[in-house]
């Protein structure tokens, strides 16, 4: 099985595929990010794949075409160079902010002999529904039809292909300058058949569509511009365009520890990430996308007055029930079991989401000149909820399943909810509530200062009464709870650097064992350092963690501290969000220092 870092990410703003450096599509879940897979060899040998590669020995190099999510892989053989170009098709004629609204769910693959002749081998082994189905394959006037369960696939090509049971194969030669194109069309069994796309035309149009979006999002002028630009493209590709939801990652069950059990389904949208997502979209010159994400959050949450707790996550379309189950027939990535579909974290009580939703309104305050009555009522209700529930225990931002505690970051986010609600009171038509909210805000702050600080550790710790450090507390200066140069914040940063940082990579908490370094935590450290005026150290940490991205600039959730490999679901939105926000913070601090 390939390393996680060997994969390229293809997106059409509705679903995603992963293609390895040796030309194998080992993950594709059409028509939606959280749909059952057609190819899932990433998680098990029976999961299915689609490989295209040259005969014989080769080495590879690859890149994204500029301003796109279209990947180009060059196979260097003894005879020359074979180029493979892969993309998920965008809708015909889509441009700018419209890309992804009518994606046709077609996987496009083109091979070109760009130097010398090439012998090409193709193998398509579709295995719908996470490998549970071995489909029926037959010739048809429209192409090769692959049918199984709820999925219907049509494979078109300008080369002859052979049906061998449930597998499609092909071998052919290309002279220098010749090419071949393949298009795999997906539809549900209940959808009417459609006319297959012309693969060559669709690929050109998809490249033009991505580049049109990229041209509209060139406003960032700070440091690390190319890394920010690539991360913005990744976030757009992780956006479910019909609703505006940003998906945490396009994969499920890529392990946080190889061979371990911390394997979760991340193909959903978390409110927890909302404020950081909105800030990153804003920094990356994506204001329209930021506004749509806020609308999705508000509409998905709905009314909270009758809820036991505020939901923390939703499906791409706003679905609430994300009940988790395991796929016993898949052995998992490198024998990392179980493979999970769904995520029972949707049932958890996490107080921090209250602050994150209201912070989103604060980030967009200049654009939200007025709120709908429903949105204003939602934000007022959330502020009331923060005032009434901040004393309660919860599961915390890391979604531990070992029980509830008084997590410090949850208290900080309750304070944030109240602070922002007071500042937004005019917009919320809630001036009468300001005294109540202000009193609760002062109480939360006092509790954090008294019970969150540990005199023995000389740091803010992860939970009230705990002596364990938690990198989540780095959000305190980022969100303005305390100034970054406050003595207690500086001491906390020093303690985290001393006990949780190894080679610039940050673990989430004390005694994390063999757990990898969480990439978002490293970027939070960058922001805390920069805001405290330690810009040289901030740049050093930023460059250390960003250098761990793969050759295409993609980041996973974690980095294995033992060997530096990327682990966890991939690519991870929160890691790219952290990169954007950290780069922006460095730029802001440096710009302020030159004035």
Confidence of residue 374 (pLDDT cuts 50, 70, 90): confident
pLDDT score of 201 = 98
pLDDT score of 187 = 97
Of residues 310 and 553, more confidently modeled: 553
Contact (CB, 8 A) for 63 and 48: no
- pTM recorded for the entire structure: 0.96
pLDDT score of 390 = 96
Q: What is the pLDDT of residues 147-169, one digit of tens each?
A: 999 999 999 999 999 999 999 99
Confidence of residue 373 (pLDDT cuts 50, 70, 90): confident
pLDDT score of 306 = 47
pLDDT score of 42 = 99
Whether residue 356 has pLDDT greater than 60 = yes
Of residues 395 and 263, more confidently modeled: 263
Confidence of residue 274 (pLDDT cuts 50, 70, 90): confident
**C-alpha distance across the termini of the chain, in Å:** 52
For residue 200, count other CB atoms closer than 10 A to its CB. 14
pLDDT score of 308 = 61
Of residues 376 and 155, more confidently modeled: 155
Q: How many residues does the chain have?
A: 595
Q: Does domain 4-214 have CATH number 2.70.98.10?
A: yes
Residue 554: closest CA among 18, 14, 1: 18
CATH of 217-593, one of 3.30.450.20, 1.20.210.10, 1.50.10.10, 3.40.50.12780: 1.50.10.10
Whether residue 16 has pLDDT greater than 90 = yes
Lowest mean pLDDT among 78-87, 165-174, 208-217, 301-310: 301-310
* Tokens of residue 327, six digits: 């796929």
All residues at 6 or more sequence positions from 469 whose CB lies less than 8 Å from its CB, including other chains: 457, 459, 461, 462, 495, 496, 499, 500, 509, 510
Confidence of residue 277 (pLDDT cuts 50, 70, 90): confident
Contact (CB, 8 A) for 235 and 577: yes
Distances 53 to 1, 127, 153, 407 between C-alpha atoms, Å: 16, 20, 22, 51
pLDDT score of 39 = 99
Residue 281: closest CA among 313, 249, 233: 233
pLDDT score of 594 = 65
SS3 track for 458-489: CEECCECCCCCCEHHHHHHHHCCCCCCCCHHH
Confidence of residue 275 (pLDDT cuts 50, 70, 90): confident
Q: What is the mean pLDDT of residues 340-351?
A: 93
Q: What is the pLDDT of residues 468-490, one digit of tens each?
A: 999 999 999 999 999 999 999 99
Give the residue extent of every domain in the chain. 4-214, 217-593
Q: What is the pLDDT of residues 28-72, one digit of tens each?
A: 999 999 999 999 999 999 999 999 999 999 999 999 999 999 999
pLDDT score of 295 = 85
Q: What is the pLDDT of residues 300-326, one digit of tens each?
A: 887 666 456 788 999 999 999 999 999
Confidence of residue 97 (pLDDT cuts 50, 70, 90): very high
Q: What is the pLDDT of residues 168-179, one digit of tens each?
A: 999 999 999 999
pLDDT score of 370 = 79
């Amino acid at each position: 099985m390939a390393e996680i870092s060997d994969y390229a990410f293809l997106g059409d703003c509705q679903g995603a595929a992963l293609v390895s450096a040796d030309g194998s599509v080992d993950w594709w879940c059409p028509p939606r990010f959280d749909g059952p897979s057609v190819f899932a060899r990433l998680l098990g040998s029976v999961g299915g794949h689609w490989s295209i590669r040259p005969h014989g020995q080769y080495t590879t190099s690859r890149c994204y075409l500029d301003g796109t999510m279209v990947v180009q892989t060059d196979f260097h053989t003894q005879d020359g160079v074979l180029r493979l170009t892969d993309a998920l098709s965008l809708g015909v004629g889509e441009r700018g902010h419209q890309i992804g609204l009518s994606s046709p769910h077609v996987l496009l693959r083109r091979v070109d002999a760009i130097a010398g002749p090439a012998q090409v081998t193709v193998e398509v082994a579709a295995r719908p529904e996470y490998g549970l189905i071995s489909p029926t394959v037959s010739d048809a006037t429209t192409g090769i039809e692959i049918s199984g369960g709820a999925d219907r696939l049509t494979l078109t090509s300008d080369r002859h292909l052979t049906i061998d049971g449930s597998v499609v194969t092909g071998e052919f030669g290309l002279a220098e300058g010749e090419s071949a194109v393949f298009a795999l069309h997906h539809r549900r069994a209940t959808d009417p058949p459609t006319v297959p796309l012309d693969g060559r035309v669709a690929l050109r149009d998809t490249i033009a569509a991505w580049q049109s979006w990229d041209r509209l999002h060139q406003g960032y002028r700070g440091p690390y511009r190319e890394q920010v630009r690539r991360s913005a493209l990744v976030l757009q590709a992780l956006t479910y365009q019909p609703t505006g939801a940003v998906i945490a990652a396009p994969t499920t069950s890529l392990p946080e520890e190889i061979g371990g059990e911390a394997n979760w389904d991340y193909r959903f949208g978390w409110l927890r990430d909302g404020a950081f997502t909105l800030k990153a979209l804003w920094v990356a010159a994506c204001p329209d996308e930021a506004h749509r994400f806020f609308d999705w959050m508000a509409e998905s949450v709905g009314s909270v007055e009758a809820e036991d707790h505020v939901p923390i996550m939703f499906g791409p379309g706003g679905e609430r029930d994300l009940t988790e189950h395991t796929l016993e027939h898949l052995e998992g990535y490198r024998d990392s079991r179980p493979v999970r579909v769904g995520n029972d974290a949707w049932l958890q009580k996490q107080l921090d989401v209250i602050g994150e939703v209201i912070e989103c309104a604060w980030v967009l305050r200049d654009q939200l000149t007025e709120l709908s009555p429903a949105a204003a009522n939602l934000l007022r209700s959330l502020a009331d909820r923060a005032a009434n529930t901040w004393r309660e225990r919860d599961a915390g931002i890391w979604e531990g399943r070992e029980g509830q505690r008084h997590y410090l970051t949850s208290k900080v986010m309750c304070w944030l909810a109240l602070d922002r609600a007071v500042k937004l009171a005019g917009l919320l038509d809630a001036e009468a509530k300001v005294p109540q909210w202000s009193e609760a805000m002062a109480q939360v702050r006092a509790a954090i200062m008294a019970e969150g600080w540990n005199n023995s550790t000389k740091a803010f710790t992860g939970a009230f009464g705990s002596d364990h450090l938690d990198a989540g507390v780095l959000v305190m200066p980022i969100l303005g709870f305390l100034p970054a140069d406050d003595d207690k914040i500086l001491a906390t940063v020093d303690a985290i650097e001393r006990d949780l940082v190894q080679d610039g990579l940050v673990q989430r908490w004390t005694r994390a064992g063999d757990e990898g370094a969480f990439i978002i935590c490293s970027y939070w450290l960058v922001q805390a350092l920069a805001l405290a005026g330690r810009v040289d150290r901030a740049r050093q940490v930023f460059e250390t963690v960003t250098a761990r991205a793969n050759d295409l600039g993609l980041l996973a959730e974690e980095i294995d501290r033992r060997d530096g490999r990327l682990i966890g679901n991939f690519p991870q939105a929160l890691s790219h969000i952290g990169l954007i926000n950290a780069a922006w913070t460095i730029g802001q601090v440096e710009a302020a220092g030159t004035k």
